[in-house]
Chain A
Amino acid sequence: MKRMKQVRLTPVAALVASALVLSACGAGGRDDDDGDAADSGSTVGVTDDKVTIGAHFPLTGVAAPGYNEIPTGARAYFDFVNANGGVHGRQIEYVVRDDAYNPTNTTKVTNELLLQDEIFAMVGGLGTPTHSAVVDQLNEEGVPDLFVSSGSLMWGDDPEARPMTFGWQPDYESEAKIIGQYVAENMPDAKVGLFLQDDDFGEDAEKGARQFLEEQIVGVERYTSGNTDVGPQIAGLQGAGADLVLGFNTPAYTALARLVSLSLGYEPQWFVSSVGSDSPLVGSLLAEFSEGAVKPGAGALDGVMTTEYIPTLDQGDDPWVQLWERVWEEHGEKGDLSNYKIYGMSHAYALVQALQGVGEDLTREGLVEFMEEQGEGLDGPQLAPFRYGTDSHLGISGMRIVELEGRGSKELTPVLVTDIGDAEITEDTSGQADDAPPESGIPE
């Protein structure tokens, strides 16, 4: 009995001893390069010729259509950069894992990304429910968590609680504020109905819209994602007498809501947030019902108002869209370029820019520090600047309001910028919307 105990203890003792030795060495080393902050940070996932980054996306399941194209766009851009020598001599290795939009899976694949793939940073992980399952883990372990593909406030409104996380797209509250102010100023007589997804998305949006439309809102209806019968909700908006419906919903629900309102003979003006207004996707869903009821093709959303914060596929003259077309032609997989792929390329561009900016000594701490100090000045396809700083990790600060028209859109406002809370809405003066990418297509 006694002997057995001794045997078992030996490896433990050895471990303790080696740990002591190691930590002693570490301490010694740190003293030596005092003052050189970059060297003391974590370099997991970084070698001299490679940096590994990861992401979780729904590649299968109900949420996959559209969203599964985002990582293919991002990958095409990384391949483009790699083919041109990478960033500071490092090739970008992009590992995407499928979470099927299920938070339980997100936890699992994030563990795989961290432990198995040993990623340097998480980039563009998609979804509010999914990403909130792993955001604390990433922050506790000090893993940079950049450009979350979701407009929840959670990714940037409290940098102290989540110092490693940075948002990307305009948050839902700011978007709703911009929409709310536009409606209050330009359609003061409209009776407004809100059609909301019953989660953070709808909640944040309602908060923003109510700042300006408290008096004008006549009805609020919430749908549960997954329940495709929205008849009672649309009948509710009709019953409340709403003649302008603000939709904060996903593309499939834009199509469903339009279909149901046809059967109800309900014809309000629609104003759909950027999330739910992908015209080619909604148009293809509505195309089948073309018996004079809905016009086929991308024109199915004609007259619908929405917002945009990055240039989209229909703007073929935009130098950014031309760059994305070039990237997709040279490095894309099969299939055509789409707005979802452009979304992926846009945040991939921002990451490359950040990696360029940090310099040759790449550490996790260095990247986050760079984002806080200089992230606001990053240019790129986004129409308005980022809000990154020590007080906020929220992403793009604004958008313009447009009316969909055939395959394109008509601008109704210049780019408007704002922030959460009671921050004012002003016209953007940064000129971000008019810039063009460098000739090489790779940020300098």
Chain B
Amino acid sequence: MENLYIHIFLLALIVIISVFAVSHYRIIRGAILLGAVSFLVSISLFMLKAPIAAMFELSVCTGLITVIFISVISLTNPVYAGQKKINEMSMVKKIIILFLIVAVCGFFIYLFDEKNINWIPVMNDAQKTVTTKDSLWNLRHVDLIGQALILLTGIFAVVVLFKKGKEEK
């Protein structure tokens, strides 16, 4: 039961920091906050006894991706003053909405808890003993092709949307 409250607290924190990350007027701070979100997700995964997933979340999302984000953002221009003002003005609203989201989530969790719903059994023991090799290759061959495709799509997205062509110049 105590674990459940820690999970709820972590989830609430993840939601709050995520909202701040996507709505912050300074992109660099947004990237750092996203790194913090990944870190909290890693803790949550460790607690849920998924150490492989937690390790990857910590090393790739918290570490590598944050470094890439910060490096790229450092090369771009800072935000203009007007945008900063708009964001500062809406901060109070953001906090109120966040508290409302957390309260609503908490209410639903309380309801589920009270109603004693017949939760379904969690995955069997065989699934808990998967090795890194299994989870990376043996179990998810198909998704590796998917990852290659999405990586290439990301590259083309950057080229199409951010690089100026001859005609645009």
Are A and B co-members of a single complex? no
Residues of A near any B CB (own CB < 8 A):
none
Residues of B near any A CB (own CB < 8 A):
none
